[in-house]
Structure 1
Amino acid sequence: MTDLVGFFRKYFLYLTVPACLLLICAVYYAWNGPTPFRSAEYTLETDPTLRFQIEECRIGKKDFLVSGWLVSESWSAHKSRLVLTAGEGKGEFSIPYRLYERPDIAEKYHLNGTTIYNRYGFTGLIRRKGAIGQNTALHLNLISGHILNRVQYVCHS
């Protein structure tokens, strides 16, 4: 028993550094991995105020990047939440994203241009999954309760 304790004391640093690196990698891949999305669970509606533009859509060897902006009266009033998804049917999954300020969009659409309410830009990045390829359908989903407003964009990069 004392030999085991002596071993851990002697090699503690050599054992903890790789263990920490493995834990960091596991957390990164869990955070940046695909999460299934089931659009069939929602009632599909059309939002006539929904405007969007995809400014970059890139399918790389190891990742999938999309960025652009989205404006809707229901979303700008914080009644809805945005979910970016890719794929179709049972293979549809959500893409982690971050919002950022787009005062140019807020000004163009006469929305509240304060720094709290002008976060209409988004950038989504996910490691590439086998289902992502040329002509993959990208969906911008605004969800309010059980109501789903969605638009589709096909990435040709």
Structure 2
Amino acid sequence: MRKFSKKTAIALGAAGALTVAGVAYAAWSSSGAGSGSVTSTSAINSTISPTGTSAALYPGATQTFTISVTNPNSYPVKVTSISSGSSAADGGCGAGSVTSDAVSNPSGTIAANGSSTYTLTAHMTGDADDACQGKNFSLTLTATLASAA
């Protein structure tokens, strides 16, 4: 039997240990393949509601009023526009006696499940009928929103 020096014996022992460790690692390695799955949400329409009261209109007058736009979605949105509005006929008060201006690119972002207030401008026609006195005018508005995530 051949005798090895102490250095050689240590080197051979270390090499043997590494070989055994490499075989053990290789024996326990594996890989896998497959797929993952996620779903997207569906946008929920916002709601618009009046806030507070505004100064009273009269023929030819312009006043501001505020609305609240509520974001029921689970992500933030930006209001890109608010449409103009026009009053419906009410008794002798003709349709379109009161109108509001459209708003493009109002500032700010509405947080997920939050709301924000916007100021709009309303106008009463100069020739509004006497039947328009003391009325509460409802203007149909539409807000267009985009994801701000």
Please give the range of the TM-score, normalised by the shorter of the 2 chains. 0.3 to 0.5
Name the larger-Rg structure.
2
TM-score (norm. length: structure 2): 0.38
Task: Select the structure that is richer in strand.
Answer: 1
> Which protein has the bigger helix share?
1
